[in-house]
Chains A and B, each alone.
Chain A
Amino acid sequence: MTLSNLACTSLCTVIDRLEIGLIVLDKAHCILHWNRWLATRSGFSAEQAQGQALESIFPEISNSRLKLAVEHAIKDGLPSLLSPALHGTLLPLYLSAEDRRQEKRMQQLIHVLPLRDQASNLSCLIQISDMTANISRERLLRQQAENLRRSSTEDQLTQIANRRKFDETLANEFHKAQTRKKPLAIAIADIDLFHQYNDFYGRQAGDAALVEIANIFRSSVRPLADLVARYGGEEFAFILPGMSEVEACHFAESLRLRVVAQGLANESSSIAKHLTVSVGVTVMYPDNDADTHTLISSADVALYQAKHEGRNQAVCFSIEDGSFKACT
């Protein structure tokens, strides 16, 4: 055996032992080499594959970027990468017979590299890596990250935004209203006599009532514009960008009416036979000196007035002239 024969044998052995798929194509796109990794995962032995056009083994590549990439390598001598995100399961390669039965292809990262011989003739090397494990790990991590993100901004019980999300959104919307010179309305709704409801029906029923009311509120806001958050125990707060005072008053009153219409029985209440809410609302055109604290405390003042006037009311507080008016 000559030295170069030995080198060739070892090289073929090495290629066969590799834990990635390797295909070498000649300039007519016919298969010269087909390693063992590929044979076990494709179901075609090296003997079956060699001398065939790649397309006759894998008909699915006929209109794919892999074919273009091979042409690019052989004609222009430039390398290409086919990412799992964009091509994923392009080739019918399977980890096991079971996967093959279920048509569960492995996720692939494919490199297409030009090979230049001493006479500068171009051929092509295709390298295939199994990305299945990486991708399922990434999906898991992403799912966990999404869960974490949700739990840090969402109220666990009612699944609407929590106080932290409210504060963040308020800061953003306040800044937007300042720069665009648009109004920003805030409403705060509080379930009337909720302590008594809890004492009478028990904490579990109390939680169920909170979820019901949160659902009413969630379906009352403009999905992409507004935010409703659980602000405290039985308090909910609304960020309503761009609403005028008339619109905000109408919105606050409609919240109150929708809760009444739901008719959640409440025998513990001295004001009605069902659960009711009081709502305070205010609108600000924030100038440069304005702050969110004034906005929130104005909505709070309005809520306090609604409670003071006998509950099951919606009241608006005017920041400009300090007056109250009933919402209609």
Chain B
Amino acid sequence: MLDLSEMQRDALGEIFNIGVGRAAASLGQIVNDEVLLSAPSVQIVRGKDAARLLLGNELRQLSTVSQTFSGPFNAEATLVFPESNALEIVRLMVGPHMSVEELSEFEQEAMCEVGNIILNACMSSLADLFHISFESTLPLHRFGDVETISIINDDSERVMLVLQVDMMISQQRVQGHILFLLSVDSMCNLFSCLDNYLKAQGLA
């Protein structure tokens, strides 16, 4: 259950990479600059290990944007912007240098929108290729540390997909790191969608 075959990992990586590419184009339009998002690396981990993964990167203050998707499988998708880097990008988009605590509602909505663009792009490319559809809540923005992110701490045995994406705005030379956590109520359903997709591609 916890293991992804190489084929599955590559397929998920590619599927999300399509979404990430679309998100980069939308974000680039907003900032009038080229936004580069790296191909995501995909891991599958238990909630409690995700906490360690985040802590391992010494992330204290986090800013998260989440949306709940429902469909053939239900998924809580959370983007985690570590304070020190990716948030810098949002600040760059909306204005002056500020610390996380100083971000006002104004910037929080902008964070929400950036998260919304990336989450929708990733989930819609997944839906496209799996021939399924999702409904979703509007994005919700929160500040916190690793302990306060519910997706990690509610049910630590639950497994989730973790995607790591590097983000760069080319002319400004700003770089950041974003984590995309996808906590799925039924990993089996996601895997069966994935296997169907691979079969349809003649790959499994």
Q: Which residue of A lies closest to B109 (CB)?
A: A83
- Tell me whether B30 is interfacial, beta carbon within 8 Å: yes
Would A78 and B105 count as touching, CB distance under 8 A? no
Would A79 and B137 count as touching, CB distance under 8 A? yes
Interface 0/1 of B112-129, CB less than 8 Å to A: 111011001001100110
Interface 0/1 of A312-324, CB less than 8 Å to B: 0000000000000
How far is it, in angstroms, between the C-alpha of A72 and the C-alpha of B106 when the chains are bound?
A: 24
How far is it, in angstroms, between the C-alpha of A111 and the C-alpha of B138 when the chains are bound?
A: 9
How far is it, in angstroms, between the C-alpha of A116 and the C-alpha of B135 when the chains are bound?
A: 10
Given known pairs A68-B26, A111-B138, the reply for A78 and B110 (CB within 8 Å) is no
Q: How many residues of A contact B (CB 8 A)?
A: 27
**Size bracket of the B interface:** 20 to 34
Residues of B within 8 A of A145 (CB): 102
Given known pairs A65-B26, A76-B127, A78-B123, the reply for A83 and B134 (CB within 8 Å) is no
Select one of A63, A86, A114, A135 contacting B110, CB under 8 A.
A86
Residues of A within 8 A of B138 (CB): 79, 81, 111, 113
Q: A104 to nearest B CB, angstroms?
A: 18
Would B26 and A85 count as touching, CB distance under 8 A? no
Q: A residues 195-218 with Cβ under 8 Å of B?
A: none
How far is it, in angstroms, between the C-alpha of A325 and the C-alpha of B109 when the chains are bound?
A: 59
- Tell me whether B139 is interfacial, beta carbon within 8 Å: yes
Would A77 and B113 count as touching, CB distance under 8 A? no
Q: A130 to nearest B CB, angstroms?
A: 14
Would B120 and A80 count as touching, CB distance under 8 A? yes
Would A81 and B109 count as touching, CB distance under 8 A? yes
- Tell me whether A267 is interfacial, beta carbon within 8 Å: no
- Tell me whether A82 is interfacial, beta carbon within 8 Å: yes
A-B pairs with the 6 shortest C-beta distances?
A83-B109, A85-B110, A76-B124, A83-B113, A85-B94, A83-B110
